[in-house]
A and B are shown apart, each in its own frame.
Chain A
């Protein structure tokens, strides 16, 4: 909502430095998005008439415009805008003019053609937001006169305010003025239009029926006679322009002016064209259609409301747009003026469905003031009276349902307990009174009646907010409560940090791809799951929620590889979303870790896993050869922890890599953190360190290729028993003299007892047991 300071001052003697007023408006919750001084810096800008428009011989983006600046001579201007035609009046910055941005206009050649000034766009002279074309002036202005003088522009301050959806009252100049006056402690007065009434009473000339009282809370109709459609006076056109509305004609402009000023939209009908002079307000019938003011035929549904005539033919869409059949025109003698209160939800639905959101529908949607119509009608007639229109006496005023305004008990103690203030009952009453919240004392408290223009305020807490707002948020004393609990992270949150710390410790960079996928991404990653789809995606590429972190990481590797960054090691910790196995309220959403090591093989991925298992002290895990979809079928293992599958480690299937344009081998690890962190892990019981010497033995076995090293290790552990304190695989060797299809696996075992030094015979006994366990159970022999 834009407001001019001069317009606010018509309601209250508010004053001050514009910057201070801006701060006050912000402190009232009417955030100032921008503030500008208008009507200044126009010295040297004159009204010019376009005489001729022609192409520049040497430039496509510039045209040559001949203008008359009042002396009848043609003056050549080079201009980069193409929106004007011969006869238009335009603002010309004459030679020597210093523009608001400091640029001085001089005579200069543009591609070989002289330009004797500059034609101005609305932004260049602070008269609007449009900077694409030259400002086209009202045709009645006097050519050659200084623009400010010709248009009657005075210096003014324009505030552009951000109005929250709960403040429909502030979508009017009067509403903003009311708040500002309360803030400044100034009296606020609404205008009291002085309109002479003449002619036949409206009640005898039209009738109104509300068939759907929910849709229409109030419908007021009056009659205006003797309207001539012309152009508005300059002051009105200037104000409308400043507030961002284009002047159209005297009737439309008055309608917009009253809406901006008082917040009440209106609609005008050519009364003679309304069959039976009857207005029947009802829901549209499914499939019913009418041609709206813009000449478009629109098919309606029950979601829309209509105003129909005596034949029940729709002549307008309620609160959204009027019909073409009753539009006023030059020959119109009597106008029916409608000011209504429409159900916000109905208008919101209808305007959105029809794609016809307007300044008017925005006000109805947020909740207009059902009681302002009488004043707004008279204001309308007063403004149009200048053009010769006269208001017929009487109004047809029919009511449906409007929000009930009950008195609200506002407890002084409650106000202070919520705000942390020490306001007296009377001070609260005073604050509320300043914004027309009527109240009376009930013991120590107040009974408050909220004014009709504040539909948002309906409960005690709503009123408390108003007290705080007018008292000033900034004046409330700041206190900091001491937390009455102990701050901490949960074990799960600490574990997540451990996971990340382990990953970065291994030199891996954390990435954060967005969790949206394109249809087919999961299949491309070799995954046989259906992601949960987005009902209303912005683009198809972002229409599926990821069921795996794999597509995101592969796309990240592909992106970086295409920018000559190869060999990356990356990881992500994030949620994946899947259809649950059992019906449940929400999808199966779980946190995963995924690691991708470009240019490296499964060995490195296993290394990352074992380091992670160490970091989390995840015990008793086993790797079991596996070929899940999308991973390398002969280089992947399932990770079992305590017998539960927690993920996979290995490499990505080469076919999947090709599908994602990843040019390198990719080692892969994915871990379901939800499952892993739910299993026993973390601190282990302390084991004392033996003070006796240990003995090491090395055992190398020749083992068939299809026997996992883990199986040999398991046999060794089983045979070694309690004396074993450490076991590691230190060498793997293939090739002569080891037989074809076999490899040598060399282990180091360390033995130690807690209570004695082991004897040579004890050690050799255990060694023998280890060798027997492997040779006796597996296709393996000890190497000499």
Chain B
């Protein structure tokens, strides 16, 4: 049987070209080059030929095979490209349909402020201390140099709880009792902040809540001075509010610090914001914390944390922080 290679190649090229998809191409490939193909059969018949003829025919068959393989491969490339286009088109998506506003939850704006302040002070070398919200009278007042009946106790509208002896237990009016707890629990030097929830018998309005948050700082080390207090407040103010914000201290009165001061922050536009209270830790407070005021000195400062949150976001009513309206909470 004589294979007309010319004709076969022409037919093969046509059938390869006719293969409409990759599956059809595979079938054509098998038919043209597989075990049952004409080329394979012809190759098998080479043994019957004379050596010269065999060599010549063998060479032509190999060439034909290579040609067919080339045609199949190029057709495969073509068909693969088409298939990719078809598939991609079939998979086309409108991603704006997919955007259903999936969201993370939101930390409360007070927590965000709290964490930001913690991070800032940790960076300045401070630890973070905590204490109970229901406090005993000693830690909230007595140890802080407010003797019983001291008129300065009136500065705080204290809420007491029915626990133990009458007026022995209260909702802490400030975070300052944690100063005493820090001194009781460890050995100086102390560089600590004490963020926390505090309570006053205040009717809720745009600037007052019976519950709010403060952040207090306590530093006790050797030779800590009032100049250190002023410098630390300035450093904190620049770090938290930014360049262009400065501070001033004005004499004030707190039983647990002396000298005492109010500290104000000046905005770049020149306006002032009264931020908090501060001072050198009173010798009686150091003593109450078990320290010798001749050996150790320190400063403390504190301010309202909620107010910083309000300021940062331009919120004009403190009550919003505690109303828990989803439309409010989800903004931060």
Contacts and interface: CB of A to CB of B under 8 A. Distances in A.
Interface of A: 26-29, 31, 164-167, 344-345, 348, 365-366, 417-421, 456, 459, 461-462, 464-465, 468-469, 473-474, 476-490, 493, 497, 500, 503-516, 532-538, 542, 545, 556, 559-560, 563, 565, 568-571, 575, 577, 585-587, 589
For chain B, what secondary structure do more than half of its interface residues adopt (helix, strand, loop), or is it mixed? mixed
B330 A509 contact: yes
B216 interface: no
Given A166-B253, A511-B329, 14 more contacts: A29-B251, A345-B151, A418-B226, A418-B297, A419-B259, A476-B227, A479-B227, A487-B191, A489-B128, A500-B111, A534-B159, A535-B159, A575-B197, A586-B135
B327 interface: yes
Contacts of B228: 420, 479-481
B54 interface: no
30 contacts: A31-B252, A344-B151, A345-B151, A456-B253, A461-B280, A469-B259, A476-B226, A476-B227, A477-B227, A480-B235, A485-B127, A487-B124, A487-B125, A488-B122, A493-B118, A504-B104, A507-B105, A509-B326, A510-B105, A514-B322, A532-B162, A535-B166, A542-B210, A545-B171, A559-B324, A563-B327, A565-B325, A575-B197, A585-B164, A589-B134
Contact of B259 (A468, A506, A534): A468
Contacts of A515: 133, 197, 211
Nearest to B149: A345
A563 B124 contact: no
Nearest to B161: A532
A27 to B, nearest CB: 6
B232 A480 contact: yes
Max chain B Cβ within 10 angstroms of own Cβ: one of A27, A421, A461? A461
Interface of B: 102-108, 110-111, 115, 118, 121-128, 132-136, 149, 151-152, 154-155, 159-164, 166-167, 169, 171, 189-191, 197, 201-203, 209-211, 219, 221, 223-228, 230-232, 234-235, 248-253, 258-262, 280, 282-283, 297, 321-327, 329-330
Given A420-B225, A565-B327, A500 B107 contact: yes
B105 A27 contact: no
A415 to B, nearest CB: 10
B7 to A, nearest CB: 53
Contacts of A571: 105
A21 B223 CA distance: 34
Contact of B169 (A556, A563, A586): A586
A771 to B, nearest CB: 41
Given A468-B226, A484-B221, A585-B164, A474 B211 contact: no
Nearest to B158: A536
B225 A479 contact: yes
A418 B280 contact: yes
Closest 6 interchain pairs by CB?
A483-B125, A29-B251, A420-B227, A420-B225, A504-B105, A164-B253
Given A487-B191, A488-B127, A513-B322, A508 B105 contact: yes
Contacts of A511: 108, 324, 329
A344 B190 CA distance: 37
Contacts of A166: 152, 253
B146 to A, nearest CB: 11
Contacts of B219: 481, 483
A479 B299 CA distance: 13
B227 A545 contact: no
Contact of B107 (A488, A493, A504, A536): A504
